[in-house]
Structure 1
């Protein structure tokens, strides 16, 4: 059994997070992903001084790939890249709009030599509009899309960021899905195509169905939708828990668990609509009732009444959670240059075409020689490329 994308050749011209993470997903699923880097390497390689070239974030986004380092300012460097592009099933890049065209490697040029290519361009906001030329990072997109409004402090209304690269990583998943869909389309049409995925488009789409629900009905247009102050984190006598009650049955179960059966008949909470209208009061009432319970006690009570619930854990505690362990989510690999390293396995499990278990990320130019041989260069040419600084290779 081989991975679902076994035999697919990918040229990865991406850097930082969104593009590299998308292509790492394809590598996990069996594609041969060649990461093309400049001679100084992807900027995220340098995120950890203790292990030059192998920051944990870089490893996570580039595991299972091969690396070739090229000087694309040199004509021979560009010629080498062309050999890769002519053989590729997929080309991915996340330069700012227009850069690939100026370099001579835009979709039109590549498709002229390789009509079957699936060419992915990831950008911050897309190729048109007032922000198209702006440099964009994850926080920029969170600010633009209203994500920071959803996260805003409910009392002061000060906007807040999600404290993880949610826009970059979500874009990676959307992009990987788009590539596989285009590869499927190619099996039916025989043609490749151009794919455009922007972080802005992704995150605006991601905010539906609930994030933009207050603004969905056009005839009820409004300027703001202020969230209630409660964040669904409840303090117990020794920690924090969360739980949710959507149905009447779950609400009744919560009331029993809290030893407050009177709340079931309370007209302010009798239906889902009434509970929603009185959300803040409901949360404060529940918060007061839960304060005397320990986390273990209230979780046991909630589970006994079939109420969705969980202890709130730190990131480190999550690694040792029995369900995380049962799912074999976290694996350890030996990463050269970094040591024993934890990685999350590919999330999707394939019954007949299993994905690779996480594999190490490459050193800069680690595979330059073997890749050059594969595309037809001889030993003398390769040695000259390296001696002249056109190709970077591990000695």
Structure 2
């Protein structure tokens, strides 16, 4: 298997998206990721409309679990816990996102496993952390959007009603933070020989993620009331005569470029927009003024004008247009492969492109327990023992 993490063994005890998406990034970069699933499989196999002939896959599951192996085991069963303990002895990384305290009660907590395996990098993903009054809450992405300020940033311009963003941004951002932290811990272990316990809370992640521009007015202590809300302005979605585009005019040269593209020589003389600070103070008026010009011509015509004037711009694509967009096609961002039981599927290639240690999509998503027998054989269990585990429903094996 290629990639910078080739040779790294990861035990993935996570479900839904925040954990599986994180470990999928590690698989893309060459790690051998063994997904530890419940006997009935990860909930995302069936929490969205199933696809294919076997009802084992959803599009969400494939897009969060490609390139992994699957061992289906009941970790509440004594045999299941024994298997996990053995696997931990061979692993470099273990990632879990059960509620705080669950793994400790099963005898598989970070202190318990790392006492026996000090090189193990143990990762605990949670909603709000392992302390505080919300620690026992059941947490999904919308809960964190509400707590982190994300909904407030998305508030409607007129009513100020908070709004959710229509993607599981908290889950997926937490996944990226987690994958980065694992890489750092692996690097540190090469120098010290010691593993670590990494805790990543979705709430911590999203507050850190939003802070640079989303919390500007709260950055200077004591100056909160005097600072303008940086989000108190329309967004940069402009309607053209036949669609939508976006463009930005932060610098003086970009504003002059837009004025030139508008074809109105008087626009450049408007004092409200003459300097960066003036354009910031009068952002709402500026954006509304831009819209007056943009709606008069087609998207294609405006993009040509703005590109000629070196103004940052792009069409706003509908999701069905993305896979055919000329830049996406030129970069080869979308790959296709066969997903057994489903058919041909599309997936984005790994976003980080390595020149020497190439990251690649390692393969399709696994069936529930597709690799159970081979994993147990590698651990030294006999065929008879494996069959008994399956009969006892401590383990499930596909096919």
TM-score of the superposition, structure 2-length normalised? 0.97
Asked if residue 152 in structure 1 is aligned to residue 155 in structure 2, the reply is: yes
Q: 1:355 aligns with which of 359, 364, 367?
A: 359
- Secondary structure of 2:33's partner? strand
In structure 2, C-alpha distance between the alignment counterparts of 1:359 and 1:125, rounded to whole Å? 33
Alignment of 1:39-58 (within 5 A): 39-46=39-46, 47-51=48-52, 52-58=55-61
Q: Match for residue 18 of structure 2?
A: 18
Greater than 4 Å deviation, 4+ residue runs: none
- Secondary structure of 1:20's partner? helix
Alignment of 1:110-149 (within 5 A): 110-149=113-152
In structure 2, C-alpha distance between the alignment counterparts of 1:202 and 1:227, rounded to whole Å? 20
- Secondary structure of 2:346's partner? strand
Q: 2:303 aligns with which of 294, 299, 302?
A: 299
Asked if residue 190 in structure 1 is aligned to residue 200 in structure 2, the reply is: no
In structure 2, C-alpha distance between the alignment counterparts of 1:74 and 1:165, rounded to whole Å? 32
Post-superposition shift, 1:358? 5.0
In structure 2, C-alpha distance between the alignment counterparts of 1:130 and 1:219, rounded to whole Å? 27
Post-superposition shift, 1:356? 2.0
Q: 1:237 aligns with which of 234, 241, 246?
A: 241
User: Any conservation in 1 of the 2:389–2:395 contact (CA below 8 Å)?
Assistant: yes
Q: Deviations over 1:219-240 (max 9, x none)?
A: 2023983734521111111111
Post-superposition shift, 1:22? 0.2
Q: Deviations over 1:49-68 (max 9, x none)?
A: 34311101001111100000
User: Any conservation in 1 of the 2:66–2:361 contact (CA below 8 Å)?
Assistant: no
How many residues end up aligned between the 2 structures? Answer: 395
User: Any conservation in 1 of the 2:273–2:282 contact (CA below 8 Å)?
Assistant: yes
In structure 2, C-alpha distance between the alignment counterparts of 1:313 and 1:341, rounded to whole Å? 21
In structure 1, C-alpha distance between the alignment counterparts of 2:119 and 2:179, rounded to whole Å? 18
- Secondary structure of 1:33's partner? strand
Q: Match for residue 29 of structure 1?
A: 29
Q: Deviations over 1:22-71 (max 9, x none)?
A: 00000111111110111011100012234311101001111100000112
In structure 2, C-alpha distance between the alignment counterparts of 1:24 and 1:201, rounded to whole Å? 22
- CA distance change for structure 1 residues 138 and 5 in 2, over 3 Å: closer, same or farther? same
In structure 2, C-alpha distance between the alignment counterparts of 1:278 and 1:53, rounded to whole Å? 54
RMSD after superposition: 1.3
Query: Structure 1: where are the runs of 5+ without partners?
Result: none
User: Any conservation in 2 of the 1:343–1:358 contact (CA below 8 Å)?
Assistant: no
In structure 2, C-alpha distance between the alignment counterparts of 1:204 and 1:353, rounded to whole Å? 33
In structure 1, C-alpha distance between the alignment counterparts of 2:206 and 2:133, rounded to whole Å? 18
